[in-house]
Homo-oligomer: A and B are copies of this chain.
């Protein structure tokens, strides 16, 4: 008799953003004339850079000719892209990677969701709270998170609260944790860690044989020179950290699907008997078994953002979004709201007025101002009492949303 994986039944019914999308769709169908502005899901809106579009055309033509057609690519990605990554994203920061440490994927969501397959089902995990829901949901699906208590906390998860009270700096844990997820610049709070703060985590991991899964999907938004772009800027991180990058936010690839994961050759985990097992070949085995590479066109498109034109065009788009972020921060503060992030990340994290529940503010904003935000409680217990706004809108829409919030809220 086929039995279901009952761990699925312990999950919240919907993935957070699917939930938000459903509520917005319901509102729209009941209010046909309302013009709803979304500052909710972290999805980009600016078109692809011309250098990227040109690369897509060129690759499409190649695929249409017998002599240049390409079938299956290497599961870990094409060499041309892996070399461009090493040369442009790491070498300038003094980080030396071997090409076998770079795995191209179809976006960071897949790999941050799949990476937990490499560790034992009963390892405990630690997460900053609030957090991108994929980390916990993917662990819960295999039963690693345990069960949820009445306060929406998983029994086998250690939460590191990040709130206004501690300046959004997670405290090093005082109890056993096997694997830690860190995301910096942070989604959803938009806050960052300095090199000194990040070093504390790497040292903690090295001392306690902890693995760090480091999600750097937003590194392109870092403005201040003292904020690390990669965890490998910290000495020792090659022994304990796996890093995830994405072109989704960097270059507007949410619809193209391309990102990458770095699994250093030194990073390892133990067997029960204490033998060290390197994770790089395990990840290669995982990827070559369950993944067939991302589209050749998307990989050529990603390569194009490393050309001089591509770099300039991508930088312009990031600056465009960061102008939104600056405008939002300034206006929200003028209106008396407590807001965080938005300086090295495309997210603004707002304390709800008078500590109102996140979903109430989400509903009020949608109903009164026809503006969509993301309720902070969807990101974990410490997200309650906050909502997230993204800077990914157009200038006009962002401006209009701010006006409506000023008027109606």
Contacts and interface: CB of A to CB of B under 8 A. Distances in A.
A277 B282 CA distance: 33
A289 interface: yes
21 contacts: A2-B178, A2-B210, A4-B270, A4-B271, A5-B120, A5-B121, A8-B285, A13-B285, A44-B71, A52-B64, A57-B60, A69-B255, A106-B292, A106-B295, A110-B290, A117-B141, A134-B290, A138-B290, A254-B292, A255-B295, A297-B298
Interface of A: 1-6, 8-9, 11, 13-15, 17-18, 41, 43-48, 50, 52-53, 56-57, 60-61, 63-66, 69-73, 75, 106-107, 109-110, 113-114, 117-123, 133-134, 137-138, 141-142, 178-179, 208-211, 248, 252, 254-257, 268-272, 277, 279, 282, 285-286, 288-298, 394
A69 B57 contact: no
A118 B141 CA distance: 9
B69 A61 contact: no
A109 B292 contact: yes
A142 B144 CA distance: 13
B110 A291 contact: yes
A313 B296 CA distance: 21
Task: In the A-B complex, list the 8 residue pairs whose CB atoms are closest, starting with the nearest.
Answer: A113-B290, A53-B64, A56-B60, A43-B71, A4-B269, A2-B211, A3-B120, A71-B254
Contact of A15 (B64, B255, B285): B285
A5 B117 contact: yes
Contacts of A178: 1-3
Contact of A285 (B11, B50, B114): B11
A179 B1 CA distance: 8
Nearest to A17: B288
Given A57-B60, A66-B47, A291 B109 contact: yes
Given A119-B4, A119-B5, A293-B257, A53 B47 contact: no
Given A8-B282, A46-B66, A56-B56, 7 more contacts: A3-B120, A4-B277, A5-B119, A14-B288, A69-B252, A72-B255, A110-B292
B292 A257 contact: yes
B285 A14 contact: yes
B71 A252 contact: yes
Contact of A2 (B64, B134, B270): B270
B48 A64 contact: yes
A290 B69 CA distance: 30
Given A18-B288, A57-B57, A118-B8, A2 B209 contact: yes
B179 A2 contact: yes
A4 B119 CA distance: 4
**Most chain B CB atoms below 10 A, which of A4, A53, A61, A295:** A4
Nearest to A240: B2
Given A4-B277, A4-B279, A296 B66 contact: no
A15 B72 contact: no
A134 B289 CA distance: 6
Given A53-B61, A64-B47, A279-B4, A288 B119 contact: no
Given A46-B69, A63-B53, A282-B8, A292 B2 contact: no
Nearest to A211: B2
Contacts of A11: 285
A290 B256 contact: no
B69 A45 contact: yes
A272 B248 CA distance: 41
A394 to B, nearest CB: 8
Nearest to A70: B255
Contacts of A107: 292
Contacts of A45: 66, 69, 71
Given A138-B289, A290-B110, A297 B4 contact: no
B6 A120 contact: yes
